[in-house]
Amino acid sequence: MDFKTVLANEFSLSVQQAEATITLIEEGNTIPFIARYRKEATGGISDNVLRDFDERLSYLKNLEARKEEVLRLIDEQGKLYPELAAKIEKAAVLQRVEDLYKPFKKKRATRASKAKDAGLEALSELVFAQELKNGDVLQLAQPYINEESGYPTCESALQGALDIIAEQIADDPEITALLRSHMQKKGMIVSEATNSEEKTVYEMYYEYSESVAKIPNHRILAINRGESEEKLKVKIEASFDEAISIIEKRIIKGQCIFTELLKETIKDSYKRLIEPSLEREIRRDLTDRAQEEAIKVFVKNTENLLSVRPVKDARVIAIDPGYRTGCKVAVLDEYGKLLDYTTIYPTKPKEDIAGTERVLENFCKKYGINIIVIGNGTGSRETEAVVADFIAKSKLSLQYTIVNEAGASVYSASKLASEEYPDLDVTTRGAMSLGRRLQDPLAELVKIPPKSIGVGQYQHDLNQAALESALQKSVENVVNRVGVDLNTASPSLLAYVAGIGGTLAKNIVAYREENGAFTDRKQLKRVAKLGEKAFKQCAGFLRIREGKELLDNTGVHPESYKAAREIMRIGIEKFDSKNPESKGLLKGISLELDVGLPTLNDIVSEIMKPGRDPRDDAPPVIFSKSVKALEDLTVGMELYGTVRNVVDFGAFVDIGIKQDALVHISKLANRYVKHPSEVVGVGDTVKVWVDSLDKERGKVGLRMV
């Protein structure tokens, strides 16, 4: 297969672009490095498209490898003929290769294999040929009686021959393809309750059917979960008569003495062999499709969450709410350093409001606190009410906000947290994590396994290896897009930088602790096991804030410093996009130094704003929410909120009450929306209106139109 041509067509690239990208990937370059520093070669393909390109390249290579293996296996059986070889070589998907290989695949003992072992294959060929117009069918089977093998009569011998034909029909790749298409286009996925009297979250699926071709991904996952929890029975139904007609058109050649037997055999083959196999396959394909889309949503949500704007200069009281054991409090300076910690009891059963206010006032005055952060877990809204009242009464210059605490408990009990803060208990570490999520969401959230961040749907039902891999790449995208401070980054953050990984991240921190702060990117080459290859991949993504070299605090790669210095020598102001001479100057440098224009444009952007954080373009954090209870809401009320999660059917928005409220996909915009992510992302600040209230169930429906 000509990979470059196939990929060029699929991704709407030139063949030269595709070939260059393949070469860069095969040389071992990381996706962030290729996306950022090899734009001339790729034509500026984004990191997300590059990842899809890389995955597709891997699929095509696996497809070619499987074709070679299947050709070899069939050839070893002495059954490979030119037409079959051509079909296999032409196959564009793995499924087609497997369909063609199926007749030659070694099977466990079947009715057909038993009949073949008894010597009934010749009889099956006679029947399948359909050439005899007259004669006694049973008499024709007489010579094939084999008592020792379990075929003592003409009837049993004939049935054995028909079993061989039934399997032959089921193994026919063309028939399989036609029936698969029939079931995909016209099949219905049908679910019913295992116990219709039982009340469960799956009640809408107790008597439910929907087209296989149209069922949305979130319903596939919901039905699958109901089935796995034994609350639902699920099957795929497609027209039996149409399926039989499809097979008969391929098998029946005309009227003969075997016609009626063959028609019954076709029905047996479909019911016993083809339909169950295709149903399993299509259920698996539906699940794979739904999981793939759910993972994409999870990835996009995670990227948005990690890209939330940091709150700078925040001196924080972070509160991890609770009831019986109280609320854990951590006090942090603007750099995230722990200053103090304690426990307060503003919630039931103690409800020590006065004591809570004394503690908060003391911390605020002693440490110059300007923001209070509250986790959104158990007891959050009761704690929020106390904090809001305290701020109103205290007249201090304070704001507060709610942060999502998903995964905080995972981090606080982790080996990493124990290594970072061995002298603190689990609950205090959890409160610290909440405060740092406000100060620098990216730096804190990379310490948590991405799937524990909780911004998706059905994450525990998804393929865990695929989810983990996709989320790791998602985090890597954001980390490298933002850049990392070489002198302050934790090993957790450094590990996501292109070309580094866990071992080198620890080695960098060890070097930093032993030798002091890095003052030059070139010092990275002194770090144990960090060679030239790793340096090339990682250097441009690491920042040194106050080093010897200004360019070390930018996204300019060391390989382009010569071009950057030439731009600075001429004068950065001359490269302002409004300056008509700018393009000419850049072309001159490009020709002189053999550096592409995309790279030169990136260099100009970086020099104009050294140390710029792209997250500064994200929406600001919402502080001091006034709504605290469902009772405060009325239909039509206008509110502002923060998007906490985006799923296939809508977006969940934190508007300050106990539960996040849903904006259904149909209420997101004044137009058709294919997926909510077209309109909103996790972390967005949105204006909403209360659309419906169900105070009994504690649910709120919102609209954004």
pLDDT of residue 588 exceeding 70: yes
pLDDT at 430 over 60: yes
Confidence of residue 627 (pLDDT cuts 50, 70, 90): low
Average pLDDT for 482-501: 96
Rounded to an integer, the average pLDDT of 429-443 is 95
Q: Taking the CB of residue 640, how many other CB atoms lie within 10 A of it?
A: 14
455 confidence band (pLDDT: 50, 70, 90) = confident
Question: Where is average pLDDT lowest: 201-215, 552-566, 688-702?
Answer: 688-702
Does pLDDT of 625 surpass 90? no
Spatial distance between the Cα atoms of 666 and 162, rounded to a whole number of angstroms? 55
Q: How confident is the model at residue 623 (pLDDT cuts 50, 70, 90)?
A: confident
Average pLDDT over residues 655-682: 92
- Mean pLDDT computed over 537-551: 95
Peptide bond into 349 cis (omega under 30): yes
Nearest one of 291, 618, 608, 290 to 478, comparing CA atoms: 618
Task: Please give the mean pLDDT across all residues of the chain.
Answer: 94
Cβ neighbours around 160 below 10 Å, total: 27
Return the biggest CA–CA distance within the chain.
107
Question: 569: pLDDT confidence band, cut at 50, 70 and 90?
Answer: very high
Tell me the per-residue pLDDT of 371-423, one tens digit each, with 9 for 90 and over: 999 998 889 989 999 999 999 999 899 999 988 888 888 899 999 899 888 99
Say if strands 371-375 and 316-320 run parallel, antiparallel, or are unpaired: parallel
3-state helix vs strand vs coil in the chain, percent to 5? 55, 10, 30
Rounded mean pLDDT of 355-366?
A: 97
Average pLDDT over residues 521-526: 97
Q: Enter the DSSP assignment of 151.
A: B
Q: Of 626, 222, 662, whose CA–CA distance to 461 is shortest?
A: 222
| Closest alpha carbon to 456 in 641, 655, 296, 306 | 296
pLDDT digits (tens, 9 = 90+) for 239-298: 999 999 999 999 999 999 999 999 999 999 999 999 999 999 999 999 999 999 999 999
pLDDT band, residue 624 (cuts 50/70/90): low
Predicted confidence at residue 565, as pLDDT, reads 96
396, 397, 390, 340: which is closest to 363 by C-alpha? 340
Q: Helix axis angle, 94-101 relative to 82-90, nearest 10°?
A: 160
Instruction: Give mean pLDDT, residues 103-129.
Output: 95
How much of the chain exceeds pLDDT 90, in percent? 84
CA 323/CA 519 separation, integer angstroms: 48
| b/e 295-330 (16+ beta carbons within 10 angstroms → b) | bbbbbbbbbbbbbbbbbeebbbbbbbbbeeebbbbb
pTM across the whole model: 0.85
Which domains, from first to last, does the chain contain?
Answer: 3-104 (1.10.10.650), 111-297 (1.10.3500.10), 630-703 (2.40.50.140)
Residue 628 has pLDDT above 80, yes or no: no
- The whole-number pLDDT of residue 571 equals 94
Q: What is the dihedral of CA 579, 580, 583, 587, to 10 degrees?
A: -110
Report which secondary-structure segment, H or E, holds 475: helix 464-482
Model pLDDT, residue 626: 57
- Of 355, 351, 353, the residue nearest 342 (C-alpha): 355
| AA letter at 449 | P
Residue 613's pLDDT band (boundaries 50, 70, 90)? confident
Q: Sorting pLDDT into bands at 50, 70 and 90, what band is 622? A: confident
**Residue 3 pLDDT > 70, yes or no?**
yes
Rg (alpha carbons) of the chain, rounded to whole number: 33
Residues in the chain: 705
Weakest-pLDDT range from 171-175, 587-591, 615-619, 624-628: 624-628
